[in-house]
Amino acid sequence: MTDPMQLEIPGLTDAILGEIQASLHAVSPADLNALVAEIERAPKVFCLGAGRSGILLQAFCMRLNHLGFEAYMAGGLPCPPVGADDLIIAASGSGETRSVSAVLDQGRQAGARVALFTARRSGNRSMAADVTVIIPAPAGLVNRDHPQNLQPMRTLFEQVFFLICEAIVCSLRMKKGIGEEEMAQRHANLE
């Protein structure tokens, strides 16, 4: 491998794209298909994440609404109560984010199903999910488990997570036969 200290920006972007592609190709298609099926059958979808993962989930939640799904950011305004058979989509690279874990516990008590994006194969028991999508990427704030990666901390997890969410949006759009014009009609007009 080329010494990263010798790479110019274009070389670094090529290396980063390689990391993203390798991680994407290692995500289980069966897990992704199971997640899409969960979204399709859920009466309501709640998105839950902290930090940068939470920000990326806001974008995904918006697109779900553009597709006609009833989707909310957990704890946001407005946010109705979660109920039986609703779906909570959570993202936690570490699989141990306490604030996310606590909300998942409440959702499970109300009968909601849980889908989790994480970089850890085995995390805290309270982060158990009906569908778990493992993204092979660094899980900690210090990158000890993938030292060959150029990017710091959980950046690779977040990039792959965002791309997967965009692919899910594309898949749902095609399955539902929704054109961009229809999606645009659901886009905010008070900006």
| CA–CA separation, 77 and 116 (whole Å) | 22
Is 13 part of any domain? no
Our count of domains for the chain comes to 1
At residue 50 the predicted structure's pLDDT band, cuts being 50, 70 and 90, is: confident
At residue 76 the predicted structure's pLDDT band, cuts being 50, 70 and 90, is: confident
| Weakest-pLDDT range from 27-31, 94-98, 127-131, 155-159 | 94-98
CATH number at residue 134: 3.40.50.10490
Is 61 part of any domain? yes
Pairing of strands 131-134, 87-91: unpaired
At residue 185 the predicted structure's pLDDT band, cuts being 50, 70 and 90, is: confident
pLDDT of the residue at 12 = 86
**Long-range own/partner contacts, residues 167-174 (CB < 8 A, 24 or more apart):** 167/32, 168/32, 168/35, 168/36, 168/39, 168/60, 169/60, 169/63, 169/64, 169/67, 171/36, 172/36, 172/39, 172/40, 172/64, 172/67, 172/69, 173/67
Is 6 part of any domain? no
Is 131 part of any domain? yes
Kindly state the percentage of the chain with pLDDT values over 70: 86
158 catalytic residue (yes or no): yes
pLDDT of the residue at 107 = 93
Range of the domain at 109: 22-177
Is 9 part of any domain? no
| Residue whose structure tokens are 């309270």 | 126
Q: Which of 70, 96, 158, 180 is catalytic?
A: 158
Question: Does residue 177 have a pLDDT over 90?
Answer: yes
Is 8 part of any domain? no
Greater model confidence, 35 or 12: 35
Is 190 part of any domain? no
Question: Does residue 139 have a pLDDT over 80?
Answer: no
pLDDT, the chain, mean: 87
Is 101 part of any domain? yes
pLDDT of the residue at 148 = 67
Question: Model's pTM, two decimal places?
Answer: 0.88
At residue 143 the predicted structure's pLDDT band, cuts being 50, 70 and 90, is: low
Question: Does residue 141 have a pLDDT over 70?
Answer: no
